[in-house]
Structure 1
Amino acid sequence: MCYLLRTLTKKQEVDSIIRDTIDKVLVLRFGRASDSACLHLDDVLCKSAREVSKFASVALVDIDSEDVQVYVKYFDITFIPSTIFFFNAHHMKMDSGTADHTKWVGAFHQKQDFIDVVEAIFRGAMKGKLIVNCPLPPERIPKYQLLYKDV
């Protein structure tokens, strides 16, 4: 558990951090503290937070909180961890070669991968873009397959 990162459990907290984070990328990790993939991602985020602090803020959103379900539904968070990026209250999208450009699904392999992604989003946002290309090579982008049981 990373105590440097703020954990949001209320819709109002998520609303205000999105609205109040100006001229920085806001990184919201949706997940739960008990999940092993979330713990790995939280470790990467925690270790990176100081290095990206000049151009990004990081917060964790507890998806088990009843009050944030409106965001869980809106961003269609079915896999955790899912990381969503904002800049000046605008949802930033990233083309990483997957079908979903709205969020990063899964954990980053290493600290530098996360820093590179946030830096690319910041640079794109400063140029007025709402979608940026993922700077990581395809082998470092998590791939998720939908598994159907009893079909």
Structure 2
Amino acid sequence: MGSVLLPTLTRKREVDTLIRDTLDKVLVLRFGRSDDPNCLHLDDILSKSSREISNFATVALVDIDAEEIQVYVNYFDITYLPSTVFFFNAHHMKMDSGTADHTKWIGSFHRKQDFIDVVEAIYRGAMKGKLIVSCPLPPERIPRFQLLFKDV
């Protein structure tokens, strides 16, 4: 379901193929549920931004309730929804946003321009060969969560 404009992935093979075949663009994968209010807010921002970032990014939604997707849910330790993961040329891109978890963006973005700024920062860093970039947003616009890591 999800957004009309953005593809929703429910199979591991679909996610694998998209990660492998998205070249020279940032791949944005939103993990969540199509009926969750926070996910719907983020989906609205993603779909409104998708045209503006289409030259350097591709966006897809991943349904975390799909059985085959549980491999990714466990791998990325997705416990809070929505969670957004970034890739560039099949490499997992990380972002230092001052939170404990650099592997994903947890929560929604406050506004469309925040999302565009983050994706652009990841793209610019990736083009320079970096695998981790600094978050361009001011601290007050970065969602904060108390993270509990499993088996730590």
**Does the pair score TM above 0.5?**
yes
CA gap of 1:12–1:113, structure 2 versus 1, over 3 A, is same
Equivalent residue pairs, number: 147
Aligned to 2:15: 14
Query: Partners of 2:22 and 2:61 in 1: how far apart?
Result: 15
Query: Partners of 1:146 and 1:23 in 2: how far apart?
Result: 32
Aligned to 2:108: 107
Query: Partners of 1:124 and 1:17 in 2: how far apart?
Result: 21
Aligned to 1:35: 36
Aligned to 2:92: 91
Q: CA deviation at 1:146?
A: 5.0
Query: Partners of 2:71 and 2:147 in 1: how far apart?
Result: 23
Aligned to 2:69: 68
Alpha carbons 2:100, 2:147 under 8 Å: kept: no
SS of 2:59's partner is strand
Matched, 1:140 2:141: yes
**Aligned amino acid, residue 54 of structure 2:** S
Query: Partners of 2:100 and 2:143 in 1: how far apart?
Result: 12
State the Cα deviation string for residues 80-116 of structure 1 (Å, max 9, x = none). 1000000000000000000000000000000000000
What stretches of structure 2 of length at least 5 have no aligned partner? none
CA gap of 1:138–1:28, structure 2 versus 1, over 3 A, is same
TM-score by length of 2: 0.95
State the Cα deviation string for residues 49-85 of structure 1 (Å, max 9, x = none). 0000000000000000001100000000010100000
Q: CA deviation at 1:22?
A: 0.2
**Runs (4+) off by over 4 Å:** none
**Aligned amino acid, residue 36 of structure 2:** D
